[in-house]
């Protein structure tokens, strides 16, 4: 990857927003460590979390200091989509979140890699990781959806529960040279193919909820997010100026 | 037993002894004494359990790591530990046991894991102390196992030791950053070393005159050095490292012994060690509870995977879905 160029203005905002998505989801997946249903998933979830953290670090480094961006911004300054900050819930919830988000990220990075811009090199590298993340989510959606009655019920409930956070993914990201709204159709097609094959049904409720709909990109988050970053930032903030 | 069978056993025992004493490797299909097999199962299972229980004290800090670089290092390390658990359960399974059975024994408290993981990680510096001291002690113990007489275990240890020594250096480097940082960071590092030093020395097990399995394990070339020998080696390695860290080791009796060419060190509190082994350490219950809970909460996931596999044995049509999606991704691009 070429030497990072510092971005400014809206291009920097876009890098930070995508970095926030990656950081926050990585953090949530990191919470699984030591709690996964089997050892293979300890490895897989940590692996995905690490990939995402690597993406976040690269994106932040384009806009400024990675630790300042991660540890010294308050809740209202984060621009991640609300979907990635949703608590892990059970394994089905985590997988539904992964399916929705990695399917989006794969389309987004594929598009971004093809647009000549500062984010193209990152997107070209990350899309390979994201394809693996999506495959992992797809395989588990199929196993859970078409597994036992219990797993099918849980997987359906998770897909339905998170559905209302998916609409925001297709809102414009300020400064990003991608028409995110145009990703919605291919996203719907790929997610619905998986859901169908998993013998589940695509939720038909609204894809956004309440007055905070689409809030994450504007710094309006869900209540769970404040606690998440309080935990993430507390040590760094307790020692201002220290290096680690 | 017929005479012929008895003769076979004698021959097999002689062959086994010859391979072991010639520093050869025993492989899964080779004949081995039942007690050798049982000892290995016990030791490898305990080692595997230690890797997976050992994820907990460090995972405790993943969500609070103070920089993104440290967070990435810690996540990678915890991931490696899960991988080590997998190699080791794999090695144990070559001896005819089943991973699920070993996990059940762990959960029932019938097989042990290293006593060290029953201590809590109270500050960020503990992550460094675990890397430097706990992984350092583990490496001192495990490097000789790379030459252990049982092939699958020896080979697993070669891979594990490479990653462990990387972890150990990371831990040292983390502590170095703290001890050379602000006064508060330095104090945090010293406090962590104060709490982890003695438990790390206990990782080598009881003194030689109280170690029940040692003699036989050494004869079988499973173990190469005595507990006290390895513990001494570890102390001698740590003393100069502590000096360059600028941190004190919490032992007033620690001093160089010119005559012996090694360090003298203070008496270990073996009553504490016995208490931790009996389940009365600070985190014994918490560690096992978390393990059991993860396993129980994951039961429906494992059942789903098994049910799905049973329905779709052979190559699944799953590939078709991935293929479709990739096509769409390419189209979107």
pLDDT digits (tens, 9 = 90+) for A53-69: 999 999 999 999 999 99
pLDDT-derived band at A224 (thresholds 50, 70, 90) equals very high
Count of beta carbons in the 10 Å neighbourhood of residue A133: 24
pLDDT at B325: 39
Q: What is the mean pLDDT of each run of 10 residues along chain B (333 residues)?
A: 70 95 96 97 97 98 98 97 97 97 96 96 98 97 96 96 95 98 98 98 94 87 95 98 98 97 97 93 96 97 98 64 39 32
pLDDT at B326: 38
pLDDT at A118 over 70: yes
pLDDT at B323: 41
CB pair distance less than 8 Å for A197 and B321 = yes
Q: Does B244 touch chain A (CB under 8 A)?
A: no
* Mean pLDDT confidence for A75-87: 97
CB pair distance less than 8 Å for B332 and A236 = no
Side-chain-side CA neighbours of residue A128 (13 Å): 4
Report the residue of B60, B71, B122 to disrupt the A interface, i.e. the one with the largest count of A CBs within 10 Å: B71
pLDDT at B69: 98
Helix (H), strand (E) at residue B102: helix B99-107
A80 φψ region: left (φ > 0), alpha (ψ -120 to 50), beta (else): beta
pLDDT at A116 over 70: yes
> Whole-model pTM?
0.93
Whether the CB-CB separation of A49 and A19 falls below 8 Å is answered with: no
- Pick the residue from chain B with its C-alpha nearest to A24: B63
User: Length of chain B, please?
Assistant: 333
pLDDT-derived band at A212 (thresholds 50, 70, 90) equals low
Instruction: Please return the burial class of B59, using the count of CB atoms within 10 Å of its CB with bins 0-12, 13-18 and 19+.
Output: buried
The two three-digit tokens of residue B328, written as one number? 């769409």
Of B216, B201, B94, residue with least CA distance to B156: B94
pLDDT at A49: 98
Whether the CB-CB separation of B231 and B136 falls below 8 Å is answered with: no
pLDDT at B212: 77
A129 φ, ψ to 5°? -65, -45
CB pair distance less than 8 Å for A138 and B318 = yes
The two three-digit tokens of residue A167, written as one number? 């609409």
* Mean pLDDT confidence for A42-50: 98
Q: What is the ipTM of this complex?
A: 0.95
Distance CA(B96)–CA(A90), nearest Å, equals 34
């Amino acid at each position: 990857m070429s030497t990072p160029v510092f971005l400014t203005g809206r291009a920097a905002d876009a890098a930070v927003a995508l970095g926030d998505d990656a950081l926050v989801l990585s953090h949530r997946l990191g919470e699984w460590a030591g709690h996964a249903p089997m050892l293979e998933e300890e490895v897989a979830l940590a692996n995905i979390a690490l990939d995402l953290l690597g993406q976040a670090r690269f994106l932040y480094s384009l806009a400024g200091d990675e630790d300042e961006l991660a540890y010294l911004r308050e809740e209202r300054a984060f621009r991640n989509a609300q979907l990635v900050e949703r608590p892990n819930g059970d394994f089905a919830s985590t997988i539904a979140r992964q399916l929705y988000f990695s399917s989006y990220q794969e389309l987004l990075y594929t598009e971004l890699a093809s647009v000549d811009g500062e984010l193209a090199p990152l997107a070209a590298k990350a899309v390979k990781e994201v394809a693996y993340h999506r495959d992992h989510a797809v395989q588990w959606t199929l196993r859970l959806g078409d597994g036992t009655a219990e797993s099918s019920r849980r997987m359906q409930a998770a897909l339905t529960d998170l559905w209302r956070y998916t609409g925001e993914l297709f809102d414009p990201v300020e400064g990003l040279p991608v028409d995110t709204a145009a990703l919605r159709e291919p996203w719907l097609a790929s997610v619905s193919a998986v859901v169908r094959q998993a013998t589940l049904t695509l939720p038909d409720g609204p894809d956004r909820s309440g007055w905070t709909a689409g809030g994450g990109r504007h710094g309006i988050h869900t209540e769970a997010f404040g606690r998440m970053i309080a935990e993430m930032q507390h040590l760094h903030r307790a020692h201002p100026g220290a290096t680690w | 037993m017929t005479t012929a069978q008895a003769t076979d056993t004698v021959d097999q025992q002689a062959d086994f002894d010859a391979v072991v004493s010639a520093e050869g490797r025993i492989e899964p299909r080779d004949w081995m004494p039942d007690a050798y097999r049982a000892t290995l199962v016990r030791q490898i299972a305990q080692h595997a359990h230690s890797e997976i229980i050992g994820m907990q004290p460090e995972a405790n800090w993943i969500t609070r790591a103070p920089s993104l670089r440290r967070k990435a290092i810690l996540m990678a390390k915890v991931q490696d530990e899960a991988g080590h658990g997998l190699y080791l359960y794999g090695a144990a399974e070559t001896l005819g046991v089943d991973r699920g059975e070993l996990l059940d024994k762990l959960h029932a408290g019938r097989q042990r894991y290293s006593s060290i993981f029953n201590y809590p990680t109270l500050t960020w510096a503990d992550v460094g102390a675990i890397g430097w001291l706990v992984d350092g002690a583990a490496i001192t113990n495990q490097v000789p196992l790379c030459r252990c007489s049982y092939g699958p275990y020896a080979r697993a240890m070669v891979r594990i030791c490479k990653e462990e020594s990387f972890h150990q250096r990371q831990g040292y480097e983390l502590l170095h950053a703290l001890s050379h940082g602000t006064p508060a960071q330095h104090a945090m590092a010293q406090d962590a070393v104060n709490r982890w030093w003695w438990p790390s020395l206990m990782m080598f097990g009881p003194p030689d005159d109280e170690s029940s399995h040692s003699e036989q394990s050494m004869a079988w070339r499973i173990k190469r050095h005595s507990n006290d020998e390895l513990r001494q080696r570890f102390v001698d390695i740590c003393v100069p490292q502590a000096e360059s860290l600028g941190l004190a080791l919490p032992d007033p009796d620690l001093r160089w012994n010119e005559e012996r060419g090694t360090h003298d060190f203070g008496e270990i509190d073996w009553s504490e060690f016995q208490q931790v082994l009996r389940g009365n350490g600070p985190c014994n219950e918490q560690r096992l509870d978390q393990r059991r809970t993860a396993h129980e909460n994951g039961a429906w996931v494992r059942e789903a995977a098994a049910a799905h596999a049973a329905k779709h044995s052979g190559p699944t049509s799953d590939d078709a879905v991935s293929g479709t999606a990739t096509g769409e991704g390419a189209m979107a691009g």
